[in-house]
Amino acid sequence: MSHPLTQLSEDEKAFKEAVREFAEGEVKPLVHEMDEKAQMNPDLIKKLFEMGVMAIETPEKYGGIEGSFSLACLVVEEFGRVDGSVSVMVDVQNTLVTNAFLKWGTEAQKEKYLPKLASEWVGAYALSESSSGSDAFALKLRAEDKGDHYVLKGHKLWITNANEAQVFLVFANLNPEKGYKGITGFIVERGFEGFKVGKKEDKMGIRASSTCELIFEDCIVPKENLFGEEGKGYKIAIETLNEGRIGIGAQMLGIAQGAYEAALAYTQTREQFGKPISQFQGVQFQLAEMRTELEAIRLLVYNAARLKDAGLPFAKEAAMAKLYASQGAERICSRAVDLFGGNGFTKEYPVEKFYRDVKIGQIYEGTSNMQLQTIAKMELS
């Protein structure tokens, strides 16, 4: 579904349609199996790279397709319509990892990592810890400057894409006495000495998307893998997450779209009292409310993406989009389950998975309360 707010070129519109066909033809047949096994299909990951969806904003000189942020969000939405797990893998790769490299990486780092992220390497963004969730800067992961390298000690938790990732953007405190102004970013490769991926979480939803602990046992990081300036990690984290929240809004929009379409089709084929249930006014009103809320989500998400593409302030709009998209999408998915009746509670039909997948939207990349706090602060400032 195109929308004038996206202001897409003809090439971008064609790419979006190709992504929908890919999601329907290549992803949809694998969704149930990946959910049951809680594992992303490796061949599918390769196809995602071949499709170009893992490097949407990446310039062509680094192997990307040099599209807009709005296009990245539309791609995330299209995958969310079929599978929330594939959607969030593509989202983190584009709106967090690649975006951060584009904005904060040195030219040497871009030349080294962006081509790999465009062709074969999955990336992960490592900020959260067991004691550092909403209080994102209460980091206990420590970094020490050893002269010709850094050493990282500690743990990260709930890191998306960790099981598949080859490169991680990691935030640690280099100068704890300076508080959040000691937080610094580092580029950690999977093969670095002293680094390993730990326990994989067994989750309620987006099960094929890996969420893992990261363990740093005197992990050696070369000096050239400092990401941004020392002590500027908090700035990188805040600004990158502002962009990432729009991506999560797009993921929620896609999941809600998938649930709505499934419910709309089901109500036109499910018969009770001698006619399709879509002919009952009570059902029609529910569908009308779902469709209206879906469009409200779409407008908020697309508007935030448009502002970001235009180089205009968007932090408040990103928080609004993420807040409303995650809450509204849960309501839509819940109502979809209701409209399916008993069938909606079984794994034979798609809406129970949409319902499980949608819940995380109110939690990761900033809880709903944190979005409310951001909105209120900016309104009152």
Q: Which CATH class is domain 124-230?
A: mainly beta
Q: Which two tokens stand for residue 7?
A: 């202001």
- What is the per-residue burial (b if ≥16 Cβ within 10 Å, else e) of 348-361? ebbbbbbbbbbbbb
61: Cβ contacts below 8 Å, ≥ 6 apart: none
CATH code of the domain occupying 4-121: 1.10.540.10
Residue 4 pLDDT: 40
Neighbours of 259 (CB within 10 A): 32
Q: Against a cut of 0.85, is the pTM above it?
A: yes
Per-residue pLDDT of the chain (381 residues; tens, 9 = 90+): 344 444 677 888 899 999 999 999 999 999 999 999 999 999 999 999 999 999 999 999 999 999 999 999 999 999 999 999 999 999 999 999 999 999 999 999 999 999 999 999 999 999 999 888 788 778 999 999 999 999 999 999 999 999 999 999 999 999 999 999 999 999 999 999 999 999 999 999 999 999 999 999 999 999 999 999 999 999 999 999 999 999 999 999 999 999 999 999 999 999 999 999 999 999 999 999 999 999 999 999 999 999 999 999 999 999 999 999 999 999 999 999 999 999 999 999 999 999 999 999 999 999 999 999 999 999 998
Tell me whether the CATH fold assigned to 124-230 matches the one assigned to 235-380. Answer: no
Neighbours of 146 (CB within 10 A): 12
**SS in 3 state form for the chain?**
CCCHHHCCCHHHHHHHHHHHHHHHHHHHHHHHHHHHHCCCCHHHHHHHHHHCCCCCCCCHHHCCCCCCHHHHHHHHHHHHCCCHHHHHHHHHHHHHHHHHHHHHCCHHHHHHHHHHHHHCCEEEEECCECCECCCCCCCCCEEEECCCEEEEEEEEEEEECCCCEEEEEEEEECCHHHHHHHEEEEEEECCCCCEEEEEECCCCCCCCCCEEEEEEEEEEEEHHHEECCCCCHHHHHHHHHHHHHHHHHHHHHHHHHHHHHHHHHHHHHCEECCEEHHHCHHHHHHHHHHHHHHHHHHHHHHHHHHHHHCCCCCHHHHHHHHHHHHHHHHHHHHHHHHHHHHHHHCCCCCHHHHHHHHHHHHCCCCCHHHHHHHHHHHHHC
12, 201, 365, 379: the catalytic one is: 365
Contact between 142 and 172 (Cβ < 8 Å)? yes
Contact between 63 and 114 (Cβ < 8 Å)? yes
Contact between 23 and 81 (Cβ < 8 Å)? yes
Sorted by where each begins, the domain ranges of the chain are 4-121, 124-230, 235-380
Residue count (the chain) = 381
Is the CATH number of domain 235-380 1.20.140.10?
Answer: yes
Contact between 18 and 12 (Cβ < 8 Å)? no
Residue 5 pLDDT: 44
Whether 289 is catalytic: no
Q: Which two tokens stand for residue 359?
A: 């819940």
Per DSSP bridges, beta strands 211-222 and 149-160 are: antiparallel
